[in-house]
């Protein structure tokens, strides 16, 4: 029988927006993602994602590696 482990991903306390938390958690579990992958995975509009990602980048929580967004 295979044992399943679950890890709790700590969310930075300054993140209040549910959308920002979702994007942060998605990136923490997927490692990196393009805007299209985020859109499809989270079922969010690109306009909303760009706004959330801009805020996360301004706070130093997310960076860009070419077309992919990654946690810092």
Q: What is the per-residue pLDDT across 13-71, written as a single tens digit (0 to 9) for each?
A: 999 999 999 999 999 999 999 999 999 999 999 999 999 999 999 999 999 999 999 99
* pLDDT for the residue numbered 3: 60
With 60 as the cut, is the pLDDT of residue 2 above it? no
Q: Domains (ranges, CATH) in the chain?
A: 18-71 (1.10.10.10)
pTM for the predicted model, two decimal places: 0.85
* pLDDT for the residue numbered 10: 86
* pLDDT for the residue numbered 51: 97
The CB-side HSE value for 60 (13 A sphere, CA atoms) comes to 1
Q: Which two tokens stand for residue 60?
A: 């130093």
Q: What is the Cα–Cα distance from 41 to 58, expressed in whole angstroms?
A: 23
């Amino acid at each position: 029988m295979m044992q399943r482990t679950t890890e709790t991903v700590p969310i930075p306390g300054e993140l209040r927006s549910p959308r920002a938390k979702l994007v942060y958690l998605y990136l923490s579990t997927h490692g990196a993602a393009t805007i299209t992958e985020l859109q499809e995975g989270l079922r969010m509009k690109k306009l909303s994602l760009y706004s959330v990602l801009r805020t996360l980048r301004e706070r130093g929580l997310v960076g860009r590696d070419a077309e992919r967004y990654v946690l810092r």
